Amino acid sequence: MMNMKQCEQKSTSLGIELGSTRIKAVLAGPDGSVLASGAHDWENHFEGGYWTYPLSEVWDGIQDAYRNLAEDYRNTCGEPLTTVGALGVSAMMHGYLPFDKDGNQLAAFRTWRNTTTASAAAALTRRFHFNIPQRWSVAHLYQAILNGEDHVKDIDFLTTLAGYVHWQLTGQKVLGIGDAAGIFPIDSDTCDYDDAMVASFDELLAEEKLPYHLRDLLPKVLCAGQDAGTLTEAGARLLDPTGTLTPGAPVCPPEGDAGTGMAATNTVAKRTGNVSAGTSIFAMVVLEKPLQNVYPEIDLVTTPDGAPVAMVHCNNCTSDLNAWVNLFGQVAALCGAKMPASQLFPLLFNASLEGAPDCGDVVPVNYYSGEGVTHFDAGHPMLLRTAGSDFSLANLMRANIYSAMTTLKIGLDILQDEKVAVDRLLGHGGLFKTPGVAQRYLAAAAQAPVTVMETAGEGGPYGMALLAGYRLAVLEGCTLNLADYLQQKIFADAPGSTLAPQEEDVRGFTAFLERYKAALHAERAAVEHF
């Protein structure tokens, strides 16, 4: 049993993250050690032409994840979890959640996965001279306006999923700056929405004779460590319907999964970068200077404390890989060997190491949905191979893992052309749970050393717990900025492993990349005709 001092509840920080396929809660100690965790699996729905999640499932999932965490804490520490020092909520970035003045939801939640805002995103990008991706909240808003959707006249509040959950827990309509950067362009000097672009968008609203200004709709922007409210009585019951959790804990600014990934990997300082790999995959690189050009493949967002970041975001990562692993699980079951995913994934991942560096002419295209980096509005998972290909299990698995990061590589090449400097690259998320496999392949793709820490599998919820811990530290008098706090208080002695790219892997991935790019012609034909 853990020492009770280690389990001092008032010094803990709770992070909850709503990912695309899993809602996870992590309780951390003041040194960043993980004390307890809990999770809930869920899936998005395709309804009415949009990828969405019903808000009832949001709360079912949060409560289940928290219940599992509280049980884990009781089993570990021998006492019920009645309070926490601080907490915070993060979620998949972007999307569209509009509400009226009475707090009624006006349209189904439109997630980052939707590629239905092409005309709005293109028009705003031209107007602002700033890349507005399809998944950004302002693109969804403007597309709804262009579509003439009836609900737009009644919008009183527009937020992200993290912003919505935070609002319900605290009563505060605020958002962390990293998540806000996926709503609307941010001015890092003012740590707020860009004034000139806000004024420009207001002109569009006036042209449509809508009865509000943009700032009237959007959550207030906060940086890491700032006051974002406290857990209310109603909020405590939403988290823990049993009534065991007491209200009153400070709540840090809600963040997006990009910001929590940066916190979880200690990559909020300049010249650092991280790759988060789950249902989607994205790379975040903290910039020393602005990019010279506007790229539709590159988002410009911020760290949780407002520093500018170049983000390569790809909609598709592990969905097709997971489908193949599930298929192999069915084959194993047919043979009488029922294996849980926790055993099957490392078994198959390690098998991939026996595959050819170029995957033997086996090329999966992993597009379950559209892909902005390669300019697809929709996708179909597809497997291509030549008649003479070496179609082995090892090559198929290696090719599927390669495919999960190939589109990211296309985006990273743009940053390389811009001469963006990166001193260290860290990987986190489910793809990196099996030691030394996806990490090795990413090093080959990025042609740079990749570090994975022992907390890599915790990913975003762990990062959110650290941001909550930072809020608690600030309340207790800490004057360190976020980067120094993470480096000095959390990661100074953090265990991890670093793999440098292997020349043979680099050559193999490069060859695979060229075949993958060629396969996109077939993918486009499949989207158009299949």
**Is the per-residue pLDDT at 82 higher than 70?**
yes
CA dihedral 235, 238, 243, 249 (to 10 degrees): -30
Residue 67 forms part of a structural domain? no
Residue-wise pLDDT for 289-336, tens only, equals 888 899 988 989 999 999 999 989 898 999 999 999 999 999 999 999
Angle between helices 137-146 and 118-128 (to 10 degrees): 110
Residue 438 forms part of a structural domain? yes
Residue 509 forms part of a structural domain? yes
Residue 121 forms part of a structural domain? no
Question: CA angle, corner 373, sides to 449 and 50, nearest 5?
Answer: 125
Q: Which of 26, 34, 51 is nearest to 460 (CA)?
A: 26
Can you tell me the mean pLDDT for 82-90? 97
Residue 419 forms part of a structural domain? yes
Q: What is the pLDDT of residue 455?
A: 62
Residue 451 forms part of a structural domain? yes
Residue-wise pLDDT for 497-528, tens only, equals 999 999 999 999 999 999 999 999 999 999 99
Cβ atoms of 157 and 176 within 8 Å: the answer is no
Per DSSP, the residues of 90-150 read EE-S--BEEE-TTS-B-SPPB-TT----HHHHHHHHHHHTS---TTSHHHHHHHHHHTT-G
Residue 138 forms part of a structural domain? no
Q: What is the pLDDT of residue 7?
A: 54
In whole angstroms, how far apart are CA 12 and each of 73, 454, 469, 480? 12, 20, 7, 19
Cβ atoms of 368 and 316 within 8 Å: the answer is yes
Residue-wise pLDDT for 164-187, tens only, equals 999 999 999 999 999 999 999 999
The domain of 350 spans: 319-455+497-529
Can you tell me the mean pLDDT for 266-275? 89
Question: CA angle, corner 332, sides to 328 and 334, nearest 5?
Answer: 115
Q: What is the pLDDT of residue 282?
A: 86
Which tokens go with 46?
């395709």
CATH number, domain containing residue 406: 3.30.420.40
Report how far residue 343's alpha carbon sits from residue 339's, in angstroms, rounded to the nearest whole number.
Answer: 6
Instruction: Please state whether beta strands 450-453 and 281-286 pair in parallel, antiparallel, or not at all (unpaired).
Output: unpaired
Residue 407 forms part of a structural domain? yes
Query: Is this prediction's pTM over 0.85?
Result: no
Q: What is the pLDDT of residue 5?
A: 45
Q: What is the pLDDT of residue 46?
A: 93
**DSSP assigned state of 486:** I
Residue-wise pLDDT for 44-80, tens only, equals 999 999 999 999 999 999 999 999 999 999 999 999 9
Lowest mean pLDDT among 59-63, 205-209, 420-424, 461-465: 420-424
Question: CA angle, corner 460, sides to 124 and 10, nearest 5?
Answer: 125
Report how far residue 387's alpha carbon sits from residue 171's, in angstroms, rounded to the nearest whole number.
Answer: 61
Number of domains observed in the structure of the chain: 1
Alpha-carbon 522 to chain mean position: 29
Q: What is the pLDDT of residue 457?
A: 56
Cβ atoms of 44 and 368 within 8 Å: the answer is no
Q: State the pLDDT confidence band at 2, using cuts at 50, 70 and 90.
A: very low
**Is the per-residue pLDDT at 4 higher than 50?**
no
Angle between helices 341-352 and 393-417 (to 10 degrees): 80
N- to C-terminal Cα separation, the chain:
57
Residue-wise pLDDT for 397-422, tens only, equals 999 999 999 999 999 999 989 998 88
